[in-house]
Amino acid sequence: MKRLDGKALLVAGGGADGPPNKGESLAIGNGRAIAILCAREGARVVVTDRSLASARETAAAIVAGAGRRMRWKPT
């Protein structure tokens, strides 16, 4: 049982602007980070963004399980 099983999350601004950090394949902003982390914990996540391409990137990262593989660390 994951911590957010049965929960649903809607993230506004769930994409990310800017280039990825060095050594990472995906740019990370607050919305993208929370979307990936909550999906990893079992939530069903709806990602919205003013950039559809960026929202789709987040959705693809969730589907690909990128949240587990990324080397991103909170600071």
Interface residue list for ligand NAD (CB under 6 A) = 12-13, 15-18, 29-31, 49-51, 54
CB 16 within 8 A of CB 60: no
Nearer to ligand NAD, 43 or 55 (CB): 55
Nearer to ligand NAD, 14 or 43 (CB): 14
| Burial status of residue 36 (CB atoms within 10 A of its CB: 0-12, 13-18, 19 or more) | buried
Residue nearest to ligand NAD (CB): 29
Closest distance to ligand NAD from the beta carbon of 40 (Å): 18
Residue 69: closest CA among 14, 26, 30: 26
